[in-house]
Amino acid sequence: MLKLPMISETCSPTVSDNIYLYTPHSIHNILRKICETGRTADRPRSGRPRVTTPAQDWYIRTSHLRDRFRMATTTARVTSGTHNPSVSAQTVRNRLREAGLRACRPVVRLVLTRHHRLVLTDECLLVVARTHPRNTHIKPHLQANSRLASVMAASIS
């Protein structure tokens, strides 16, 4: 908001210009704005049009509040825009940030294959066999797996 010192109605813009170092044109515009609106506050600008409507913004917020593990790309796929047929995932993230929320970002990691699971299972069985040597239900599995039996024998001795 622009703050001006008090200007009396008898004071002409040129006298005010010399005192306050404003151009006559800007003083004239400020006086005209005060006469029309009664204040010097700047008017709101239109800005860039939003891609989503307030109802779509509400849908984006509520869908992420209902399912906190929902990704922004999933919401973007099912939400249609006002101008374009679709809404980008970045738009969904922006709307969530405006509401103080965040979308879920899945962890990218190595996909475990069958071999990985077998190795993990074998290692777990070895740990259990070492810590509990009297577990009889593990010994048949260890004896069937020759590699595990040899590792187990080496770890016991």
Instruction: Decide: pTM greater than 0.85.
Output: no
Looking at residues 100-120, what average pLDDT do you find?
81
pLDDT at 144: 57
pLDDT at 93: 94
Confidence band of 28 (pLDDT split at 50, 70, 90): confident
Cα 108 to Cα 6, 9, 98, 105, 111: the distances in Å are 64, 70, 26, 9, 9
Looking at residues 32-42, what average pLDDT do you find?
81
Least confident of 13-17, 59-63, 119-123: 13-17
Higher pLDDT, 3 or 77: 77
Answer yes or no: is pLDDT of 17 > 50: no
